[in-house]
Structure 1
């Protein structure tokens, strides 16, 4: 087993993961309520970028709170899926095969 080669490969994979994380800051995920009265945008890294609230929602605090919870949760879930898929793709392609390591990722 070439330990030095494997360590170099691990460092390269780590660098690619960091680059992917930085790139995901510019990948935007848009989500809106069913009626379009509330719109949110997140990065694929889960950072909230914008919220747009229709004036009609400002008159009903409880409805606005419900809309925020549902819409924000949907956007966070989408962002997490995109993030995980991107990072998994980098890790799978670039990770060196170490005997027994594949068992850890099941």
Structure 2
């Protein structure tokens, strides 16, 4: 039983490392602002189109940046949840014998 739990913990660590290598992207205003994140929800890049930046006011820029960041974090959450759900199914299949199934 302990071996299966250790294997499950190791699998979770492997997934976390893999999610660090998966990038997700979001953009707003037709690409005026682009945000990149890992699937572990670490923002890795923010790009603001120079022409948009010159013409935008502070409030508009802040609002759109917030929207782009929230979009990319939601995408990261979706990817992470899908990976964990898939891994959980695999792990529960392997742990089924522990519970008399």
List gaps (5 residues or longer) in structure 1: 1-5, 100-106
Q: TM-score, normalised by structure 2?
A: 0.85
| 2:56 counterpart of 1:79 | no
Provide the aligned length of Structure 1 versus Structure 2. Answer: 94
**How far off is 1:29 after superposition?**
0.2
Q: TM-score, normalised by structure 1?
A: 0.81
List gaps (5 residues or longer) in structure 2: none
Instruction: Give the alignment's Cα RMSD to 1 decimal.
Output: 1.4
**How far off is 1:57 after superposition?**
2.5
2:89 corresponds, among 75, 92, 98, to 92
Cα distance between partner residues in 2 of 1:79 and 1:41: 10
